[in-house]
A and B are shown apart, each in its own frame.
Chain A
């Protein structure tokens, strides 16, 4: 692996994105629109539901968007032959993975800042914990989506399949993450599964900072688990890159 190649790859991907205004707009605007819709849905609710689930969903939406964008982008690289070509050069598999993680990480920072700003100042999201932590968790969640997307694209052969992996990889995690039913109330078996899935911890952290004015002591372990998943997904994803193909 080499810093030169990783950085060249990250800047090449950002340059590709820069030419694609619609994708950038979708990455930044879609999470805001969803948050806005959610705020509107609960506008007249007597209990502050938006304040309770706004933050957790602020973690989920970016992860979903980044998952789709990343898995399609890397799949395109496989089907266009550019990946095969790159793997005949000095580029390491890690360079490729980190290049994607870095460039989409930059997008994730922008996305997290915009979505948090929108949720707090436009939709009036009120959380007990510090705002910077909300941004950090949203960013980690977006990176998690990117890392899972890189991993999933290794198993997709067509762009159709890559897009379908979103419901396959993300929706089960969404069902089990504790937003629909509290994770303690899940039946045996499901509870254990939910204990392994990364989105559960992303949502745990968001829930904690919704209600606790000093959430850091209770969230850092969840954040570590999410970060661990990001690293593991990137490592597993690089294993799906094969220099030699049939």
Chain B
């Protein structure tokens, strides 16, 4: 306990976590005919574990796609580590986990992780480490197509972890997993943040909010809250993350109706 707290403080000093890792200014995104992000501005500090939460369809994945630079944007700027999102020098340093597992079903777990390791130029030892991290060592030589849904999404996560990126953008990495696995993965995310990585995790599960340094609550493309959990609880007077979440959403919906009326 003492050691880990000591370590945390040490790394915070090391990383100068006051420096933002991601700065988004007035980001506007239309998908199809739908205005998904009407003009979003937010700054995400480096070296922290940041939870991106909000109702389904609120724009979490769209925001993450903009951060990794695969989303066509209408206007605004997205800067990651001081550079424009998606620029060439960032691709080595930003790791992305898509919401739907994106791995080759006709290859084994190890073949998949080895391939992504080669693409990002990771050292060979990183492959076994990543597979162990997601607890798939027993299934390393199984075809991904024959894995269960949760195993498949963990195989996909291993392919992101293997490159040891500075910024990890993880779209619902723990969805559909049991409590033990979720705890283990959050331990890994915590470890990464403590070693100076910036980790952004989207989630629906409210108890996961307690594990984050910072929470971004996004609804209908707008940031409803950008604060730590204690700040959020103090502001709303709610007893837990779920209560605060519901209260803010209800308030925003009531306001939306009020202004429409």
Contacts and interface: CB of A to CB of B under 8 A. Distances in A.
Interface of A: 4-5, 8-9, 12, 15-16, 19-20, 80-82, 84-91, 243-246
B98 A85 contact: yes
Interface residues of B, number: 34
A87 B121 contact: no
B119 A88 contact: no
B43 to A, nearest CB: 22
Nearest to A83: B102
Given A8-B115, A246-B31, A89 B69 contact: no
A12 B104 contact: yes
Given A82-B102, A90-B92, A245 B119 contact: no
Interface centre among B30, B32, B103 (most CB of A within 10 A): B103
B116 interface: yes
Contact of A91 (B32, B100, B102, B119): B119
Nearest to B103: A82
Given A16-B104, A245-B70, A81 B119 contact: no
Contacts of B189: none
A96 to B, nearest CB: 10
21 contacts: A4-B118, A8-B118, A8-B119, A9-B115, A12-B104, A12-B111, A12-B115, A15-B111, A16-B104, A20-B106, A81-B100, A85-B159, A88-B69, A89-B91, A89-B120, A90-B119, A243-B86, A244-B72, A244-B73, A245-B72, A246-B71
Given A15-B111, A82-B102, A243-B86, A90 B72 contact: no
Interface in B89-114: 91-92, 94, 96, 98, 100-107, 111
Contacts of A89: 91-92, 116, 119-120, 163
Interface string B109-146: 00100011011110000000000000000000001000
A12 B114 CA distance: 9
A243 B72 CA distance: 9
B68 interface: yes
B186 to A, nearest CB: 23
B118 A5 contact: yes
A88 B111 contact: no
Contact of A81 (B98, B116, B163): B98
B143 A19 contact: yes
Contacts of B91: 88-91
Contact of B70 (A8, A80, A87, A91): A87
A85 B104 CA distance: 12
Nearest to A12: B115
A20 B104 CA distance: 13
B141 to A, nearest CB: 12
